[in-house]
């Protein structure tokens, strides 16, 4: 449409070509919205503007997996250039298998990323016939994925995590009791609770990956395949618990095995019960996490008081997930220590110590990670087995 100069009443005239161009622009906008011209109807242009604003950012896909080609739906006009914040929505014709691009209305191939840090898409971020939406970022010349299949993406990415910089307990005052003395465990349940409150506060303040997509638990070794739409994970890794000492046969309890989530994070198993009177296996530890927690120590058995008195074996140490077993019973808690056997003439045996736990936040490169689960120590005739290790993954 040409630039029509300002007119002055009684002096200038409006040539037919100028009037016709203005009328044609109006008619084209109305027709492109799907309406039919009708004499006497005066709200067609307003409806056309509403239709264009509401629906002109939805496109059809004619591309292939990882290379999406979008064209406007029906008669709506395509954008003539890419501008900051331009929004596109479409139903992907294929599920992506990795890094992907999009070409909108023939304006050029652009990378699709899922954060301001420009991280490439992972396999399954775009799903066949699941609505996807992205916005153009002129600074990086990319399209930032906003949502896909109901899962929110985007954001500026998580800040660096430093748990020591967070306020202890976030204002909650907790007092240890005699039953939870510092000598009982190297990392008390109260400490763990405070740490988890801090992690939760950090997540709420810094992460923008949307709701939980899924939860996966490994109690046997395998390979991690993320749930479709997963952008980041929080992984909990716990090593196997040590077995209690077989005091009847005077055999040291076997140690628990190490659990790991690839090269990202691991947790060693707890040591088995050794002897009464102070010889306890060393607890496992977490390695490589943003939080690394030691397992609880096994407990000593009773000192021998008389040859005819039963001297109880020590209980197993507590893991991150709960307490160890008692009275020569196998532990049913992940990573917790097994109990030692009782004895009527000697000191009670020592309980097995628990496996350690590591907790980590991982935002990329986790698909296909190998998961190793450490077994609980066990196999003795007269002692409780340690609890097996576990890997728990929260997907966002």
Query: Could you tell me if 281 and 387 lie in one domain?
Result: yes
Backbone angles phi, psi at 362, to 5 degrees: -130, 125
Query: Is the pLDDT confidence value at 47 over 50?
Result: yes
pLDDT of residue 163: 41
pLDDT: is 172 or 123 the higher one?
123
| Residue in 65, 302, 377, 351 with CA at minimum distance from that of residue 184 | 351
pLDDT of residue 223: 95
Separation CA 327–CA 125 (nearest Å) = 50
Query: Could you tell me if 68 and 204 lie in one domain?
Result: no
Query: Could you tell me if 97 and 231 lie in one domain?
Result: no
Residue 3 lies in a domain: no
Number of domains in the chain: 3
Separation CA 94–CA 101 (nearest Å) = 13
The arithmetic mean of pLDDT across residues 318-333, rounded, is 81
Residue 286 lies in a domain: yes
DSSP 164: G
Summarize pLDDT for 142-187 with one digit per residue, the tens. 999 988 876 666 544 333 344 444 443 333 333 333 223 333 333 4
Residue 355 lies in a domain: yes
The arithmetic mean of pLDDT across residues 217-222, rounded, is 94
Contact criterion met (CB below 8 Å) for 242 and 260? no
Rounded to 5°, the CA angle 359-361-333 comes to 25
Residue 9 lies in a domain: no
Handedness of CA 169, 363, 155, 227 (dihedral sign): negative
Query: Could you tell me if 293 and 173 lie in one domain?
Result: yes
Residue 5 lies in a domain: no
Q: Which of these three, 152, 182, 202, is where a domain ends?
A: 152
Q: Which of these three, 136, 152, 168, is where a domain ends?
A: 152
Query: Could you tell me if 133 and 165 lie in one domain?
Result: no
Q: Is 235 helix (H, G, I), strand (E, B) or coil?
A: strand
The residue segments making up the domain with residue 30 are 16-54
Q: Which of these three, 152, 171, 199, is where a domain ends?
A: 152
Read off the tokens for 284: 């496992």
Residue 21 lies in a domain: yes
Residue 238 lies in a domain: yes
Would you give the distance in Å from CA 211 to the centre of its chain? Answer: 9
Residue 41 lies in a domain: yes
Question: Residues, the chain, total?
Answer: 396
* pLDDT class of 192 with cuts at 50, 70, 90: low
DSSP 169: G
pLDDT: is 53 or 159 the higher one?
53
Query: Could you tell me if 281 and 185 lie in one domain?
Result: yes
Query: Could you tell me if 29 and 63 lie in one domain?
Result: no
Query: Could you tell me if 166 and 257 lie in one domain?
Result: yes
pLDDT of residue 168: 39
User: Per mean pLDDT, which range of 28-42, 50-64, 139-153, 201-215 is the poorest?
Assistant: 201-215
Query: Could you tell me if 25 and 40 lie in one domain?
Result: yes
Separation CA 142–CA 144 (nearest Å) = 6
Read off the tokens for 203: 């997540």
Residues 6+ apart with CB under 8 A from 357: 236, 237, 238, 239, 267, 286, 292, 293, 295, 319, 320, 321, 335
Separation CA 330–CA 350 (nearest Å) = 14
Query: Could you tell me if 191 and 293 lie in one domain?
Result: yes
Query: Could you tell me if 359 and 225 lie in one domain?
Result: yes
The edge-to-edge listing of strands for the beta sheet with 265-267 is 222-223, 370-372, 259-261, 265-267, 286-287
Summarize pLDDT for 229-248 with one digit per residue, the tens. 888 899 999 999 998 888 77
* Percent share of the chain, pLDDT over 70: 71
In DSSP terms, 295 is beta-bridged to: none
Query: Could you tell me if 192 and 288 lie in one domain?
Result: yes
């Amino acid at each position: 449409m040409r630039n029509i100069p300002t007119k002055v009443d009684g002096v200038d005239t409006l040539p037919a070509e100028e009037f016709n161009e203005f009328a044609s622009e109006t008619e084209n906008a109305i027709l492109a919205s799907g309406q039919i011209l009708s004499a006497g109807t005066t709200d067609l242009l307003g409806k056309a503007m509403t239709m264009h604003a509401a629906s002109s950012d939805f496109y059809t896909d004619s591309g292939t997996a990882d290379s999406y080609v979008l064209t406007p739906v029906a008669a709506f006009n395509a954008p003539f250039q890419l501008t900051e914040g331009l929004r596109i929505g479409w139903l992907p014709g294929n599920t992506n298998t990795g890094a992907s691009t999009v070409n909108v209305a023939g304006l050029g191939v652009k990378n699709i990323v899922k954060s301001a840090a420009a991280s490439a898409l992972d396999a399954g971020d775009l799903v066949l016939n699941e609505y996807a939406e992205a916005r153009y970022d002129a600074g990086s010349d990319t399209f930032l994925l906003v949502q896909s299949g109901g899962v929110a993406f985007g954001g500026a990415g998580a800040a660096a995590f430093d748990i020591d910089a967070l306020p202890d307990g976030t204002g909650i005052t907790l007092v240890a009791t005699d039953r939870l003395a510092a000598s009982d465990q190297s990392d008390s349940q109260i400490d763990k609770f405070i740490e988890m409150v801090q992690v939760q506060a950090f997540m709420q303040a810094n992460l923008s990956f949307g709701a939980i997509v899924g939860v996966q638990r490994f109690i046997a070794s395998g390979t991690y395949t993320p749930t479709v739409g997963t952008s980041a994970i929080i992984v909990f890794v716990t090593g196997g618990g040590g077995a209690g000492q077989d005091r009847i046969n005077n055999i040291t309890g076997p140690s628990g095995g190490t659990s790991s989530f690839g090269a990202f994070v691991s947790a060693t198993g707890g040591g088995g019960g050794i002897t009464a009177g102070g010889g306890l296996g060393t607890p496992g530890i977490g390695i490589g996490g943003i939080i690394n927690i030691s397992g609880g120590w096994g407990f000593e058995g009773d000192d021998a008081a008389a040859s005819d008195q039963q001297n109880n074996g020590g209980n197993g140490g507590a893991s991150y997930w709960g307490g160890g077993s008692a009275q020569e019973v196998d532990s049913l808690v992940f990573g917790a220590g097994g109990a030692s056997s009782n004895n009527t003439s000697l000191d009670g045996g020592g309980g097995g110590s628990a496996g350690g736990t590591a907790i980590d936040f991982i935002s990329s490169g986790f698909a296909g990670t190998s998961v190793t689960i450490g077994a609980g120590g066990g196999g003795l005739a007269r002692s409780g087995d340690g609890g097996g290790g576990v890997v728990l993954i929260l997907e966002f």
